[in-house]
Amino acid sequence: MAQPALIVLRPGDKVLIALSDEPDEDTCKAILADLRRTFRGCDFTILAGVSAVAVQPGT
C-alpha cells in the first residue's frame, strides 16, 4: 500500500487548501482556526470547488 506524501510546513509558508466541495462559512472558519493553531506562522487560504493543495515556501 502506498503511503501519502509527507508535507513539512515551516513558518512563512503560504498554503492553498483547495476543496472539492463547498463548505459553509462556519466550517471554513473552523478549518482555518485548526490549521493556524497547528501550523503557527503559516498563511492558509481555502478555495472551494476544486481538489488539490499547493504550498509556496516562504522566503
- In three-state form (DSSP H/G/I as H, E/B as E, the rest C), the secondary structure along 1-59 is CCCCCCCCCCCCCEEEEEECCCCCHHHHHHHHHHHHHHCCCCEEEEEECCCEEEEECCC
Overall average pLDDT of the 54-59 stretch: 79
> Residue 21 above 80 pLDDT?
yes
Q: State the pTM of this model.
A: 0.69
The pLDDT confidence band at residue 51, using thresholds 50, 70 and 90, is low
Taking only the tens place, the pLDDT of each residue in 23-40 is 999 999 999 999 999 999
Count, residues in the chain: 59
Cβ atoms of 56 and 25 closer than 8 Å: no
φ, ψ for residue 24 (rounded to 5)?
-75, 170
